[in-house]
Structure 1
Amino acid sequence: MPSQQPKKTFTGNIATDQALAGFTAGAVSTVLLHPMDLVKTRFQCKFSYLNASKTRLSTSETFASIWKNEGGIRGLYRGVSPNFAGATASWGMYFWWYTIIKDWMRENPNEQLGAAQHLLASAEAGALTAVCTNPFWVVKTRMCATRAADVGAYRSLADGLTRMWREEGLRGFYKGMIPAFFGVSHGALQFMAYEEMKKLRINSMKGKKDVNKMDTLEYITMAATSKIFATVCTYPYQVLRSRLQSQIGHENTLYNGVIGTVKTIYRNEAIGGFYKGMGINIVRVLPGTCVTFGVYEGMSKIFRMYGN
């Protein structure tokens, strides 16, 4: 039986390669698409943009309002520093943990894992990542949900972390943590679907095509499909997390924990409240996912090609 060839690595460790690819992918995606994320967060947090007739502004009108009233491009990129920190740390850590956990599950380096194993590995990686990065997401949510001119608004990532620790302590850093754990199912479903589609595609090649030469369009199509699948299944948790994280202080008069938040949203907004910002989210996640996975797979391919 021929000996198995070790996988090539650029940094000397496959998990580190994956972490670096994920970090780069998160950085590119965040810089390009932050304005959509900002508008999505404001819709999720029930931010009231009203026109002269007292009706809610549409997505395009909201973009125009931010551009006109909050300093143009600066307003659209409010909260980009915690978003950048959160996204790069999350993607880098996620792929690092995901690669390590999958390697632990394999009995030999070339073993193909099943859907359940991909789901479990993704869930474990997501949970570990969520614990480490939640403070960044709390600051990001609060900055995106407020205008720079608002009283008490955070000025930057450092200002937000410092004030949150001083005013709320460790509890503030982990607001929205329970919905974030529910959100692990989002990444788990997405990566399970993505890995299964990729495995089917690789198996269909039957040695006719090198996996390193898979078309970028193939990666993008699989990434977009898996993202839509996961988003539709799990979107309400994002609304819950945003509502909880946007509340500053120890006592919340409107939202009281996860159960209280669910009751409040349902009572005041019915089922539609759990899907606030869904439209802009789909518009945002599709290019975001395509960019993220395109850059990630591209970087991974470069590491495999030029690694030792």
Structure 2
Amino acid sequence: MSDTKSFTSSPHMDQALAGFTAGMISTTFTHPLDMIKIRFQVDASKRSDKRPWLGGTIRSFRNIMSNEGGIAGLYRGVTPSALGAAASWGFYFWGYSFIKKHMTKDEHGKLQAWQHMVASTEAGAVTAILTNPIWVIKTRMCTTTRTTPGAYQSFLQGFYRLVTEEGLRGMYRGMVPALFGVSHGGIQFMAYEEMKKWRNERRHASGETAKSEWNAQLSTPEYLVMATSSKIVAAVTTYPYQVLRSRLQNRETRDEYRGVVDCIRKIKSVEGMRGFYKGLAPSVIRVLPGTCITFLVYENMTQYFKKHAT
């Protein structure tokens, strides 16, 4: 019965709590870069695509600091961002843990790479559906200032207006590319779990750990390398879906596109293939520390819960 021990009411709740906390901390820390990324994503002009990516990020940062209220401007939209990330990571890790538990394991009690991807994809799809309205509000707050005509002034006001003015259709704008984005988590977690599995096998082969310690805690540098590497692979592979989602959710660009296919065609025609990668620089800059914080908090909380499980 040792596998049923938990720190909270269940092992799955342990995973959800660890994910919730990790998502909240990392998102709050990296929100300014997230906002700059979204503004690049919804910029449909061809001209902006020719700016140096890193230079454009720095100029955007300076412009917000100078013209939008300094720190307050950089953290506009942080409430839906933090709520969305915390809810996403909480739902995601709970679902990921629950699905993996009910999968058939090999003779060593381990899952195959494709099973990690399936579990991650299923958990990601459910999470995307549950949290999409939050991301719509976040996109609209991050792409406007408080003085922009018609801008949402807060998360609660944004939610009320979204529901009353646009209904269910408005709440689920960008849902199709968001479901495309489920592959992001699938690729990331498959790579992450496989790297952890490979490292534990190497430690066992070298005699560093006993046969019964397949899931022994790794060192902080090992977690950092694995988290960063898996996120880079997933980010570069699946990034265009984020641009599509932002364009469809943004109030200023939503009526320019009749759907996902039309959005893809127009971006390709006007902005070229690089248009699908707008905002990649601030995204990568944000993703690396954000991912490291998320996984370090998640893994350390998970290990703490295991040690103090009852």
How does the TM-score come out when normalised to structure 1?
A: 0.92
Classify 1:23/1:116 alpha carbon distance in 2 versus 1 (closer, same or farther; 3 Å): same
Among 6, 9, 12, the alignment partner of 1:12 is 9
* Per-residue deviation, residues 147-172 of structure 1 (Å, max 9, x unmatched): 11100000111111100111100100
In the TM superposition, residue 108 of structure 1 has moved relative to its aligned partner by 8.4
2:241 matches 1:237: yes
In structure 1, distance between residues paired with 2:106 and 2:268: 49
* Per-residue deviation, residues 281-307 of structure 1 (Å, max 9, x unmatched): 111101110010011001101101111
Among 138, 141, 145, the alignment partner of 2:139 is 141
* Per-residue deviation, residues 116-160 of structure 1 (Å, max 9, x unmatched): 100100000000000100000000011001111100000111111
Superposed counterparts of 1:168-207, under 5 Å: 168-206=166-204
* One-letter code aligned to 1:281: S
* One-letter code aligned to 2:162: M
In structure 2, distance between residues paired with 1:45 and 1:109: 49
Among 91, 95, 112, the alignment partner of 2:93 is 95
The question of whether the paired residues in 2 share the 8 Å contact of 1:223 and 1:293 is answered with yes
2:224 matches 1:220: yes
In structure 2, distance between residues paired with 1:228 and 1:257: 28
In structure 2, distance between residues paired with 1:45 and 1:248: 9
Q: Which runs of 5+ in 2 are unaligned?
A: none
SS for the counterpart of 1:214 is coil
In the TM superposition, residue 208 of structure 1 has moved relative to its aligned partner by 2.3
In structure 2, distance between residues paired with 1:75 and 1:267: 33
2:272 matches 1:275: no
2:214 matches 1:208: no
When the two structures are aligned, how many residues end up with a matched partner?
Answer: 299
* One-letter code aligned to 1:39: I
SS for the counterpart of 1:153 is coil
In structure 2, distance between residues paired with 1:108 and 1:307: 26
* Per-residue deviation, residues 172-205 of structure 1 (Å, max 9, x unmatched): 0000000000000000000000011111111112
In structure 2, distance between residues paired with 1:73 and 1:185: 34
* One-letter code aligned to 2:65: W
In the TM superposition, residue 212 of structure 1 has moved relative to its aligned partner by 4.2
Classify 1:177/1:280 alpha carbon distance in 2 versus 1 (closer, same or farther; 3 Å): same
* Per-residue deviation, residues 20-76 of structure 1 (Å, max 9, x unmatched): 00000001101110001000000001188x99xxx8972111101101111110000
SS for the counterpart of 1:91 is helix
Which 4+ stretches in 1 moved above 6 angstroms? none
Task: Report what 2:309 is aligned to.
Answer: 307
Q: Which runs of 5+ in 1 are unaligned?
A: none
Classify 1:265/1:7 alpha carbon distance in 2 versus 1 (closer, same or farther; 3 Å): same
SS for the counterpart of 2:200 is helix
The question of whether the paired residues in 2 share the 8 Å contact of 1:45 and 1:243 is answered with yes
How does the TM-score come out when normalised to structure 2?
A: 0.92
The question of whether the paired residues in 2 share the 8 Å contact of 1:47 and 1:145 is answered with no
* One-letter code aligned to 1:38: M
SS for the counterpart of 2:173 is coil
2:89 matches 1:85: no
SS for the counterpart of 2:181 is helix
SS for the counterpart of 1:78 is coil
The question of whether the paired residues in 1 share the 8 Å contact of 2:105 and 2:111 is answered with no
In structure 1, distance between residues paired with 2:160 and 2:229: 39
* One-letter code aligned to 1:240: L
